[in-house]
Amino acid sequence: MGFKALATDVDRTLTDDDLLLDLQAVRTIRLLEEAGVRVILLSGRDLATVGSLALYLGACGLVAAEDGALVGSLGGAFGFSLRMMADVGRVRAGLAALKEAFGAKVREYHIPARVASLVLSRELDLAAANDLLARRGVPAKVVDSGLACELCDADVDKGRGLIEAAASLGVDPADVAAVGDNFNDVEMFEAAGWSAAVANAPEDVKARADYVCRHPYGRGFVEAVRRAVELFRPDLAGLPWPDPEAVEEPGAGLPPEKERAARTESAGPRRAFGGRAAGGAET
């Protein structure tokens, strides 16, 4: 394991439970890139969202979106590139079969930027849906990303996305470390040379990782990177890696009046797309 690249999930791996980015995780990504370790984002979200986020984070720009269905970049070191890994016809056939069998329980969310998969309401029983698709020989599957149910090509997953992205980098997947938090990250763990699950991951996901973080969310990501550096890149140990034990106060470093305002705002209800309002249910 040479640790030449890092593949990471986004939601609840680089963020908190409300999907707000962890600033220590952002600093860690930028340090990795400065050290020559490329950072690849792998997410169930669409290419426009993930590709843009990669650039703002300071990553190399290479992403695998829609759970590996689209691999490419919207700029950065790789310019504009895109490879479709999915057969959209399979997804459409899957939708038709599910609607015929389950009727009104199959509700599709129309997201214009999504081109290789579909987002369905979470009221659909995943086990029953996938059993039906298998019995009918439809090469599609329904995956729960933790935020939504996604109808995908059966041959697409984050593991395949990681392999394709690594090839674009000229890196062996065995030299890629992976960090994630949910069931759709397991194939990514299997494809990588080393993997870590953040503490908020389900127990079954933790069991598939090489390392289980003590910290959840973005702090867990920071911990995972520090562990990978210790194990595989001791030459980078002297860099100022953020400490997952250190909790940064909202507004730290701002003038006193702005710091107070930031802390007050952070204590109130927060809401993010696909996240939770304080005390509310997931959307």
The count of C-alpha atoms lying within 13 angstroms of the C-alpha of 93, restricted to the half-sphere facing its C-beta, is 15
Residues 6 or more apart in contact with residue 185 via CB below 8 angstroms: 9, 13, 42, 158, 178, 197, 201, 205
The Cα–Cα gap between 129 and 3 comes to 38
Active-site residue 18, yes or no? no
The Cα–Cα gap between 167 and 57 comes to 22
User: In what order do the strands lie in the sheet containing 176-180?
Assistant: 80-84, 70-74, 63-65, 38-42, 5-8, 176-180, 194-197, 211-212
Considering the candidates 9, 175, 181, 185, report the single residue annotated as catalytic. Answer: 9
The Cα–Cα gap between 241 and 34 comes to 12
Would you call 276 helix, strand, or coil by DSSP?
Answer: coil
The count of C-alpha atoms lying within 13 angstroms of the C-alpha of 232, restricted to the half-sphere facing its C-beta, is 19
For 25, the token pair is 């995780």
Are the C-beta atoms of 105 and 111 separated by less than 8 Å? no
Active site residues: 9
